[in-house]
Structure 1
Amino acid sequence: MDIKLYLKPVDFSKFKLPDWAQPKFSLGTILEKNHSKLPLEKAEIIIIGVEDDRSAIVKGSSKAPNKIREYLYPLNRISPRFKILDLGNIKTGKTINDTYFALKDVCASLIGAGKTVVVLGGSQDLTFGITKAFEETPFNLVNIDPKLDFKKGIKTINSETYLNFIFEKQPNLYSQSTLGYQNYFVDSLELDHSYEMETENKRLGEIRYDMSSIEPYLRDADILSFDLNAIRQLEAPGQYFGSPNGLYAEEACQVGHYAGMADKLKIAGFFNLIPRLDQGDLSCKLMAQIVWHFLEGFYFKKVESPCGTNNDFNEFIIEIDDIDLPLIFYQSQKTGRWWMKISDDDEIIERTFSCSEEDYRMAAQNDIPDRWWRNIRKLNRIVK
């Protein structure tokens, strides 16, 4: 499939670098050079834009992709040998479903060829189109969001109900996590329902207390869906939610960096930026910097796995009173990151998943971590 049929190429002449930028060292310069010299098959990471907000709660985010590029291109190129391409914007379909289908085809083709994809939205319901690229393989979805974008009983998709459609129509969804939600925007019944659906949620206060606690969630993710509304309005005024609380700018960039470093992440989408609501293009600049931190994390990431006979990991075996099998933890000697190994009740399937040092410390104190319980339930359900 020729994905370029779905895309409008970038016109680099429309993006003039500001006086402070050094053209020789800018990301825009290397993207323009790669556009003519780097074959698609040799690229490692691909940027695409989606100028569609027809299912948005508040319109305006369709103008975001090129505004993000305006402030992304002047930033540091990260490396002169960065194998990155910007393929332009997906052509808007006659209906929103046409856009979802095009996004699915483009993403499926790119990740099938081993590429990582950065999607510049557009409204966050485009996440549904992205997940359709995983119709044949299990996937993990992580949302950065101030609330749970799920409304029980709603049958119409929009930028705050798209999770309904992912839960109902994407049987290969293995796990979904919402990071940075704020409790006064989420009803207790919603949290109870999400618990029944075995999703995981971390409050803004929890991740602010320890930003590194979100790294294991992102390390196992296949898809990241980042909602600008998760950032407090003072630092990102180009949003419709407008909360005085939320992630700080540097925290949002740290999330982007962790996501870029994630071993398995295949697609990262950045959504709900509304340029007409922005002040001094502050949100556009911030979103560009979040994307830049993602790209930097991607370039410098170290892919590692404790599976097999890898000698670069410490192994810890912990006996727990209430379960028959021991809990097995691994810690990387290079990066200090942690993993946990589990198997189903009949020991038919084994799976290793990311965890934190805190999970290990809980187990060492004879307390079973929540992440172990959640994953063991999912694994037993798969076997049955």
Structure 2
Amino acid sequence: MDLDFLSPVSAALLESLQGLNEQSVGAGLKIHTETSGIPELDDVQVAIIGVKENRLAGTEDEFLHFDEIRASFYKLFPGNWHINIADLGDVERGDTVEDTYFAVQSLVAQLVKKDVIPVILGGSQDLIYAQYRAYDTLDQMVNLVNIDSHFDLGDAEKPISNKSYVGKIVVNKPYNLFNYSNVGYQTYFNSQHEIELMERLFFDAYRLGEVSSNVSLVEPVMRDANLVGLDLAAVSSAVVGGPYYNSPNGFDGKEICALARYAGISDKVSSFGIYEYTSAFGNLGNMLVAQVLWYFLEGVNYRTNENTTSAKKNFVKYQVPIDDEILVFFKSPVSGRWWIEIPFLANANTKLKRHTLLPCSEEDYLDACNQKIPERWYKAKRKNEI
């Protein structure tokens, strides 16, 4: 693997953490240091990478580093985990933003191909564009989930920024995006034009209030995601504790950690990014990011690998007649989770044919029994027909 883009974890940080409890997360990590170099990844399941890029957030004069997050995270204790984790250090700013994108895209693609899940600690959220472009070489359609108070569609005709990267993902070739789901949007931060555009494109959007009332609502959405991005501005300012964000509404600490765990436990999620970090975060904000990272890893540890062909053979099948359709549901006897089959067309993009089961909830099955078609099934079917 070509990991030359990476600089080691700060020696000063590692020195300050001498004497860590031998049971702590940090004591068990494989860490990229100046003296030992980049660790071997043959038995690693998750790799942490910092990306010091924030120019397109309008904070380019800020020197970005992740020592405080790492210090908070290393001191935590793991759960009863059976995964190996590496901290590969940081991607420094390139001469241009595009140079940074190239480095991130290359690293994520290499790690995903090696079945290592990259977890990106990033500055501006436009880095999701590079995270997404890493899938260009993987021959699959991609489902992107974004935990964000904004849709970030922006104007695709204008230069990319941390508020317009989704528009670029939609319109730029190659066209790998099958679905975009926003979790936690706040209506007053999004124009009616963007809200209507989300509906026309059959994308999924879940308001903050919906998710806060029932966080498990988005578990099937996370289960269908290939990559997940988290905008830290989606968290209430009171929870983050720093002066950078000034919105009183947003997810609280327990909710954002629950969402991170759902992303981690998803068998399909192969990369995860935490964005819009700033050095203005105080101890409270840094500990929150460390705990979000902890919960994602907790989820990864408890994956059940139900995407495999052998696992699906054991699913229980249910058929529900509704209108002119027969909806076909499947339930895992192991996890109790549900899926619904999407009837792909014969001339559909061949990249889609491997994804015939759409994660859903038991409530979707019960609704179908009461002659109500699940909205996500309808949207997925319509996208396939376009």
The RMSD of aligned alpha carbons is 2.5
Q: Give the deviation of 1:68 after TM superposition.
A: 1.4
Match of 1:225 in 2: 229
Match of 1:25 in 2: 23
SS in 2 for 1:75: coil
SS in 2 for 1:151: coil
Specify the code of the residue in structure 2 equivalent to 1:69: R
The answer to whether 1:43 aligns with 2:15 is no
Q: Distance in 1 between matches of 2:122 and 2:6?
A: 14
Distance 1:180 1:156, change over 3 A: same
Q: Give the deviation of 1:316 after TM superposition.
A: 1.2
Q: Distance in 2 between matches of 1:352 and 1:28?
A: 38
Q: Distance in 1 between matches of 2:61 and 2:221?
A: 30
Match of 2:169 in 1: 166
Match of 1:145 in 2: 148
Percentage of pairs with the same residue: 33
Q: Distance in 2 between matches of 1:239 and 1:296?
A: 30
Q: Give the deviation of 1:22 after TM superposition.
A: 5.3
SS in 1 for 2:322: coil
2:149–2:234 CA contact under 8 A, matched in 1 = yes
Specify the code of the residue in structure 2 equivalent to 1:156: P
1:267 aligned to 254, 271, 278, which one? Answer: 271
The answer to which of 228-237 and 147-156 deviates more is 147-156
The answer to whether 1:319 aligns with 2:321 is yes
Distance 1:232 1:269, change over 3 A: same
The answer to whether 1:195 aligns with 2:195 is no
Structure 1: gaps of 5 or more residues: none
1:64–1:121 CA contact under 8 A, matched in 2 = no
Q: Distance in 2 between matches of 1:306 and 1:340?
A: 16
Q: Distance in 2 between matches of 1:199 and 1:240?
A: 30
Q: TM-score, normalised by structure 2?
A: 0.90
Q: Give the deviation of 1:41 after TM superposition.
A: 2.0
Q: Distance in 1 between matches of 2:9 and 2:240?
A: 26
Q: Distance in 1 between matches of 2:336 and 2:107?
A: 36
Distance 1:93 1:310, change over 3 A: closer
Residues 1-384 of structure 1 correspond to what in structure 2 (within 5 A)? Answer: 1-3=1-3, 5-11=4-10, 13-15=12-14, 23-32=21-30, 39-59=40-60, 63-79=64-80, 82-136=83-137, 137=139, 138-152=141-155, 154-170=157-173, 171-238=175-242, 240-276=244-280, 278-279=281-282, 281-305=283-307, 310=312, 312-321=314-323, 323=324, 325-345=325-345, 351-381=356-386
SS in 2 for 1:143: strand
Q: TM-score, normalised by structure 1?
A: 0.90
Q: Distance in 2 between matches of 1:49 and 1:156?
A: 24
The answer to which of 72-81 and 228-237 deviates more is 72-81
Q: Give the deviation of 1:168 after TM superposition.
A: 1.4
1:107–1:130 CA contact under 8 A, matched in 2 = yes
Q: Give the deviation of 1:66 after TM superposition.
A: 2.6
Q: Distance in 1 between matches of 2:152 and 2:23?
A: 39
Specify the code of the residue in structure 1 equivalent to 2:321: E
The answer to which of 355-364 and 207-216 deviates more is 355-364
Q: Distance in 1 between matches of 2:8 and 2:15?
A: 17
Distance 1:314 1:12, change over 3 A: farther
Q: Give the deviation of 1:116 after TM superposition.
A: 0.7
